[in-house]
């Protein structure tokens, strides 16, 4: 039995499925990934740009980085990989949950069932106030640019990786409309920050309530960021199988290890997730 047939046969009997998505899912929508060629972090390490210290040290640099990404995400269209997960999220006969590490909003634009989508690392279009006493938080703020000083920075980065264009004083950065004093920050989880407790609780609740999870779809992620990557082993510990959708699969054999009868114990589909994922899920969701 070939790999795709074996996966589709297993898929048809799954009661509980979870997905862990990464930047590779949005690559076909023109959004650069973080690592690998053309990656966002190519010219800067993530530590320079996606940490509270970086923001404290040079908020102007960090806001240019996030303005570049907001602008790119606003232009991006969801691809068939996003649409496949969106269709999967409305199936009534399956307990399903998408965990996305992506902050690009593409799954929401693809009309993913909001009850079955958890953004582990937040969202580029959420803004929150950094003033300790202020609780201002705004979701789905698509304004661009957020201030005049941030207006011209996106044109410089069309080649897909980030370069700052200028020094921007804090006074010209986005400020809180409620307390007027606090600097606004992007509503994403930076390195060194905990994932939102309510999100972690919802994942745990799903994993416990639907134990055993039959399958985790690991889509377009280098599995290098924690604790998100830990959910893969969590599902394996609960007896679930793993299907990887990635353009690079260094340990294909490990993922696909076969039992004595030569049956697949996992699957690795090498290629663009925008193509491989809809194809693999066709048995459940039909054609995209
Ligand atoms: C925390 C938001 C603690 C910002 C991001 C062990 C346990 C816990 C923590 C750690 C740990 N070890 C280390 C840590 C610290 C750290 C961490 O994981 N560091 C890494 C670098 C080692 N983790 C943290 O800091 C986390 N917080 O642990 O807090 C704590 C607890 C209590 C109190 C205080 C503190 C927070 C991590 C969240 C960081 N924020 N994003 C932003 O986006 O600007 S992470 C960032 O990386 C994005 O979210 C991104 O999605 C994510 C993961 O990367 P990938 O999505 O996988 O992207 P990547 O480019 O790496 O890979 C793309 C893949 O796609 C590749 O495999 C490629 O081959 C493939 N691909 C490319 N094209 C395609 C494709 N596949 C298919 N089709 C294609 N077309």
Distance CA 30, CA 164 (A): 20
pLDDT of residue 122: 98
Distance CA 36, CA 176 (A): 36
Question: For residue range 102-158, what is the model confidence (pLDDT) as tens digits?
Answer: 999 999 999 999 999 999 999 999 999 999 999 999 999 999 999 999 997 654 444
For the domain spanning 1-31+77-121+195-288, the CATH number is 3.40.50.1220
Distance CA 93, CA 211 (A): 16
Residue 30 Cβ inside 6 Å of ligand 1? The answer reads no
Angle made by CA atoms 156, 161, 162, in degrees to the nearest 5:
60
Residue 192 Cβ inside 6 Å of ligand 1? The answer reads yes
Q: List strand residue ranges (DSSP E) for 120-219, in order.
A: 122-129, 137-138, 184-188, 215-219
**Binding residue ranges:** 129, 134, 176, 179
Hunting for tokens 């409309």 — which residue is that?
Answer: 177
Give the orientation angle of helix 80-88 with respect to helix 273-285, to 10 degrees: 30
pLDDT of residue 35: 78
- Give the contacts of 274 (CB within 8 A, at least 6 positions apart): 25, 27, 28, 29, 79, 80, 81
Mutate to test the pocket of ligand 1, among 52, 120, 122, 220 (most ligand atoms within 8 A of CB): 220
Q: List strand residue ranges (DSSP E) for 130-200, in order.
A: 137-138, 184-188
Pairing of strands 184-188, 122-129: antiparallel
Distance CA 106, CA 73 (A): 8
Which pair of tokens denotes residue 169?
């004083």
Residue 188 Cβ inside 6 Å of ligand 1? The answer reads yes
Distance 44 CA to ligand 1 centre (A): 15
- Residue ranges in the chain assigned as alpha helix (H): 3-12, 46-49, 52-57, 59-75, 80-88, 106-109, 197-209, 230-237, 252-255, 273-285
The residues assigned a catalytic role are 121
Q: What is the pTM of this model?
A: 0.95
Residues of the chain with pLDDT under 50: 155-159
Residue 247 Cβ inside 6 Å of ligand 1? The answer reads yes
Distance 92 CA to ligand 1 centre (A): 31
Mutate to test the pocket of ligand 1, among 23, 78, 192, 223 (most ligand atoms within 8 A of CB): 23
**Do residues 118 and 199 lie in contact, with contact meaning Cβ atoms separated by under 8 Å?**
yes
**Binding residue ranges for Zn(2+):** 129, 134, 176, 179
Distance CA 44, CA 170 (A): 21
Which pair of tokens denotes residue 16?
């509980």
Distance 23 CA to ligand 1 centre (A): 9
Could you tell me the residue ranges of all domains in the chain? 1-31+77-121+195-288
Residue 101 Cβ inside 6 Å of ligand 1? The answer reads yes
pLDDT of residue 161: 60
Pairing of strands 241-246, 215-219: parallel
């Amino acid at each position: 039995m070939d790999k795709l047939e074996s996966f589709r046969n297993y898929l048809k009997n799954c009661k509980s499925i979870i997905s862990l998505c990464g930047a590779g899912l949005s690559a076909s929508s023109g959004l650069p990934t973080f690592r690998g060629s053309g990656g966002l972090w190519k010219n800067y390490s993530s530590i320079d740009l996606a940490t509270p210290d970086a923001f404290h040290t040079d908020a102007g640099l960090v806001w240019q980085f996030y303005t570049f990404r907001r602008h790119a995400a606003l232009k991006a269209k969801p691809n068939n990989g996003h649409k496949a997960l969106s269709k999967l999220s409305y199936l009534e006969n399956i307990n399903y949950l998408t965990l996305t590490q992506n902050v690009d909003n593409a799954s929401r634009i693809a009309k993913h069932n909001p009850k079955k989508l958890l953004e582990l690392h937040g969202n580029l279009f959420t803004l929150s106030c950094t003033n300790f006493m202020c609780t201002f938080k705004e979701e789905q703020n698509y304004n661009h640019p957020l201030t005049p000083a941030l207006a011209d920075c996106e044109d410089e980065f069309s080649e897909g990786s980030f370069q700052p264009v200028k020094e921007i004083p804090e006074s010209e950065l986005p400020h809180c409309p409620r307390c007027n004093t606090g600097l606004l920050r992007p509503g994403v989880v930076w390195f060194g920050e905990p994932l939102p407790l309510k999100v972690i609780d919802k994942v745990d609740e799903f994993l416990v309530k639907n134990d055993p999870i039959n399958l985790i779809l690991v889509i377009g992620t280098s599995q290098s960021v924690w604790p998100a990557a830990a959910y893969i082993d969590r599902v394996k510990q609960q007896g679930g199988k793993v299907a990887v959708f990635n353009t690079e699969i260094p340990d294909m054999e490990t993922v696909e290890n076969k039992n004595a009868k030569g049956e697949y114990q996992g699957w690795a589909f090498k290629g663009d997730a925008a193509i491989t994922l809809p194809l693999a899920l066709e048995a459940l969701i039909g054609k995209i």
